[in-house]
């Protein structure tokens, strides 16, 4: 069975592609057969894969703009990078077909407001409302101790969904993206520090996928 994780928020620029590419890299580097589907016309995830070149282990790229929904049979993990704007029907189909929904969010009043609306839409779906389909929030460009970070923590507590990672605002993220890499592709001290920050998300994802019968 393919464990499918969709990375989605209807807010632009919150880190969907950064989170999707990092999840895909982490899965592949841990030895899982991994595919990365790009639903966004901007094709940022597919560009990231192109920049990655022939680096092993290979991550299979899927252009889902025209062909929505088929995962390669052998894939153990499928990560779906979503666009900022998606029609209600497409969002519902994708969320229902995914095992886990990961929602990146920036610490800002505007992002909190948009995410609130998005979560309300998600909760129109019974499996989400009933807590059968996990929703994991990821705080991106997080600055520990800032007022914005404190407000975000308050906001997240109100949603009732877990905040599974706090990813700091660091120039290494655009820097690794430019090379088709992730913080998991390096073993320097700085990168290992960053990897540790992703660990709660990776653990939460794996626990839930294994619980759902994934390999």
Binding site for ligand ATP (CB under 6 A): 12-18, 40, 42, 44, 84, 140-141, 167, 169-170, 173-174, 177
Nearest-angstrom CA–CA distance, 108 and 110: 5
For the chain, the distance separating the N- and C-terminal CA atoms, rounded to the nearest angstrom, is 7
**String of contacts with Mg ion for each residue 30-49, x by CB under 5 A:** --------------x-----
- Whichever of 31 and 174 has its CB closer to ligand ATP, that residue is 174
- Orientation angle between helical segments 147-159 and 109-122, nearest 10 degrees: 10
**The entry of ligand ATP, Mg ion, none that residue 174 binds, CB within 5 to 8 Å by partner kind:** ligand ATP
Of the candidate residues 2, 4, 9, 17, the single one contacting Mg ion (CB under 5 A): 17
Q: Is 9 in the site for Mg ion (CB under 5 A)?
A: no
Asked if 11 and 111 touch (Cβ cutoff 8 Å), the reply is yes
Of 15 and 134, which has the nearer Cβ to ligand ATP? 15
Q: Say how many C-beta atoms besides its own lie within 10 A of residue 123's C-beta.
A: 13
- Look at residue 12 and give the partner it binds from Mg ion, ligand ATP, none, a contact being a CB closer than 5 to 8 Å depending on partner kind: ligand ATP
- The residue at minimum Cβ distance from Mg ion is 17
Sheet holding 59-63, edge to edge: 59-63, 34-38, 77-81, 3-7, 100-105, 135-142, 163-168
Q: How far is the CB of 131 from ligand ATP (least distance, A)?
A: 26
> How near is the Cβ of 126 to ligand ATP at its closest, in Å?
27
Q: How far is CA 8 from CA 24, 32, 59, 86, 161, in A?
A: 15, 22, 20, 9, 15
Residue 195 in the binding site for Mg ion (CB under 5 A): no
Query: Considering CB under 5 A, how many residues would be counted as binding Mg ion?
Result: 3
Please tell me whether residue 21 binds Mg ion under the rule CB under 5 A: no
Task: Quote the tokens at residue 213.
Answer: 């019968």
Residue 61 interacting partner from ligand ATP, Mg ion, none (CB closer than 5 to 8 Å by kind): none
Residue 17 or 114: the one with the smaller Cβ distance to Mg ion is: 17
Binding site for Mg ion (CB under 5 A): 16-17, 44
């Amino acid at each position: 069975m393919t464990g499918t994780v969709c990375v989605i928020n209807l807010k632009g620029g919150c880190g969907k592609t950064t989170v999707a590419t990092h999840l895909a890299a982490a899965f592949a580097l841990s030895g899982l057969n991994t595919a990365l589907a790009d639903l966004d016309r901007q094709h940022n995830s597919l560009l990231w894969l192109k920049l990655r070149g022939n680096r092993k282990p290979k991550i299979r790229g899927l252009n889902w703009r025209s062909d929505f929904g088929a995962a390669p049979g052998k894939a153990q993990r499928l990560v779906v990078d979503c666009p900022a704007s998606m029609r209600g029907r497409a969002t519902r189909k994708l969320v229902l077909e995914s095992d886990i929904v990961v929602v990146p969010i920036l610490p800002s009043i505007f992002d909190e407001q948009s995410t609130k609306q998005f979560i309300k839409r998600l909760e129109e779906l019974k499996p989400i409302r009933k807590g059968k389909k996990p929703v994991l929030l990821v705080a991106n460009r997080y600055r520990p101790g800032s007022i914005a970070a404190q407000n975000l923590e308050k906001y997240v507590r109100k949603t009732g969904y877990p905040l599974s990672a706090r990813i700091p605002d660091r120039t290494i993220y655009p820097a690794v993206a430019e090379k088709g890499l992730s913080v998991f592709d390096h073993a320097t001290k700085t990168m290992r520090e960053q990897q540790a920050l992703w660990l709660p998300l990776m653990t939460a994802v794996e626990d839930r996928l294994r619980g759902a019968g994934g390999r």
